[in-house]
Structure 1
Amino acid sequence: MDKILEMKEITKSFGGNHVLKGVDFSVYPGEIIGYIGPNGAGKSTTVKMILGLLQPDMGEIFIFGKSLKDLGDTYKARIGYVPENAELYDTLSAEEYLLFVGRLYGLEEDIVREKSLKMMQILGIEAAFKNRLSSFSKGMRQKVLIISSLLHNPDILFWDEPLNGLDANSVQIVKEILSELKKEGKTVFYSSHIMDTVEKLSDRIIILNEGRVVADGHFDELQKVADGTLEQLFNQLTGFNEYEELANAFVSVMKGETPYDA
């Protein structure tokens, strides 16, 4: 099977800060990839380079079988993106915003309007179709972002914390959407700090720490390296084992007992 995405020894620095230090992995069509790591590990930087928003210092990125160096912007029409912290145009209504996104992808307005309304209906927010985004709750805004990433039927999705703000029922729907997308042969690049969700949804899990890939495989395979849950494995591979001590110290300070000496 041909690779849909390949990173070859990618490095990236900002000033003297080496964010990525030779990131190397391949992704295949129909895979759900859990791409996780501590804050500052380089996850968002990786995705921004794949999207062409940043350039690697060294190494090469291949997507849809071609080097990113040889592609213009047309490949982006095959990508859906939900960033962790997205800024919506609050003065627009949901309808106007989704029409705007649809036009960027070259879709006809009638098709965008019909698909948007149906998707919002499925997610339970169709009544707000013509309302300004400034009036939307965090969960409603997240649903609009998810819809905007799927309007154009992309081949590969980059979703960063896509369940942020969603209620329990909506989380279940989105999880099922991911399963259906996988059946359609879509590839999903999924980043989240909710380890239980990543563990259950992902075909493969890639763990990034200090700019390097420290684990890559199915959860069952990774358990051969370290027993326990994905959260325990993550803590072990990223060298973080002080959470209990820090939690106890935090509560002690809160109670006015022994001040925590940082």
Structure 2
Amino acid sequence: MEQVLEVVQLTGGYSPRKPVLHGLSFEVRAGEMVGLIGLNGAGKSTAIKHILGLMQPHQGEVRIQGLTLEQHPEQYRGALAYVPETPLLFDELTVEEHLRLTGMAYGVEEPSYEERSARLMEEFYMTGKRGSFAAHLSKGMRQKVMIMNALLARPALYVIDEPFLGLDPLGIRSLLDKLVEVTKEGSAVFMSSHILSTVESYCHRFIVLHQGVIIAQGTLEDVCAAAGLRSGSGSLEEAFYRLVTDGGSNGPVG
């Protein structure tokens, strides 16, 4: 499968003297969902910021569809969509105006925009809120608008950070169904979440980040093996607990 996201020996953080990330290497391929898991402070948000281009690597590089941000900034940014943990909207724009703005930014043609936006409004139970200003929406509804904007764009890569916070059960189900759909259509999904049971059920592969180092990555079987669990005998939650409470004693993997 085509590599959509490639992170190669990434070392980075807020200060060159004290990096948060240490030599991260992984990939996310077309048509797959990869889960990034780790304790608070493990470096997950810092890794995502480097992928988004909000932080510059101290060493290594990040490529999307083979392109770096420095070489091809417009194509790089146009190939990804981001859903942050905390929704960021314009209070004086309506739900529909947010979608319209995203459609213009990503060059979505009018017939496609009309079809996609109407379907997303229906699937996320937001049709009745089409004309509502963002300032009047609950946190869960604001998060739905962020998710709908990302799905409207249909990029090669979705970067999603703790997407389930604030969502009601219907919103969570709608999001998961859409993520399955976009991977079947060939997009790649890179998702960070603390809800390990959901990550295990939906992701194809996993990256365990601990103290800025990848201590395990691969399929569930690979992660369980890194945690010392017998094949087929462990869950992602159990493997994760063993890995992080052992302090990553098995060393970085991948």
TM-score by length of 1: 0.85
* SS at 2:60 equivalent: strand
* SS at 2:76 equivalent: helix
Q: Does 1:75 align with 2:81?
A: no
Specify the alignment match of 2:23 in structure 1. Answer: 22
Contact 1:29 1:185 in 2 (8 A): yes
Specify the alignment match of 1:248 in structure 2. Answer: none
Q: Distance in 1 between matches of 2:156 and 2:73?
A: 17
Q: Distance in 2 between matches of 1:219 and 1:112?
A: 38
Q: Distance in 2 between matches of 1:101 and 1:240?
A: 44
* SS at 1:59 equivalent: strand
Specify the alignment match of 1:206 in structure 2. Answer: 207
Moved over 6 A (4+): none
Q: 1:200-255: CA deviations, max 9, x gaps?
A: 111000011111111101112222233333222222212279xxxxxxxxxxxxxx
Q: Distance in 2 between matches of 1:30 and 1:126?
A: 29
CA separation of 1:140 and 1:240: change in aligned 2, threshold 3 A? farther
Contact 2:9 2:23 in 1 (8 A): yes
Specify the alignment match of 2:100 in structure 1. Answer: 99
Specify the alignment match of 2:13 in structure 1. Answer: 13
Structure number with larger C-alpha Rg: 1
Specify the alignment match of 1:219 in structure 2. Answer: 220
Specify the alignment match of 1:184 in structure 2. Answer: 185
CA separation of 1:68 and 1:87: change in aligned 2, threshold 3 A? closer
Q: Distance in 2 between matches of 1:86 and 1:136?
A: 11
Q: 1:66-107: CA deviations, max 9, x gaps?
A: 344322222222212101123211221111122122222233
Contact 2:79 2:156 in 1 (8 A): yes
Q: Does 1:2 align with 2:2?
A: yes
Q: Distance in 1 between matches of 2:87 and 2:172?
A: 19
* SS at 2:61 equivalent: strand
Aligned length: 241
Q: 1:171-210: CA deviations, max 9, x gaps?
A: 2222221221121111100110101011111100001111
Aligned counterparts, 1:36-115, within 5 A: 36-108=37-109, 111-115=112-116
* SS at 2:40 equivalent: coil
C-alpha displacement of 1:111: 4.7
Specify the alignment match of 2:252 in structure 1. Answer: none
Contact 1:2 1:65 in 2 (8 A): no
Contact 2:64 2:79 in 1 (8 A): no
Q: Distance in 2 between matches of 1:192 and 1:35?
A: 7
| Percent identity over paired residues | 40
Q: Does 1:230 align with 2:231?
A: no
C-alpha displacement of 1:118: 2.6
Q: Distance in 1 between matches of 2:212 and 2:23?
A: 8
C-alpha displacement of 1:11: 0.7
Contact 1:99 1:109 in 2 (8 A): no
Specify the alignment match of 2:143 in structure 1. Answer: 142
Contact 1:60 1:68 in 2 (8 A): no
* SS at 2:225 equivalent: coil
TM-score by length of 2: 0.87
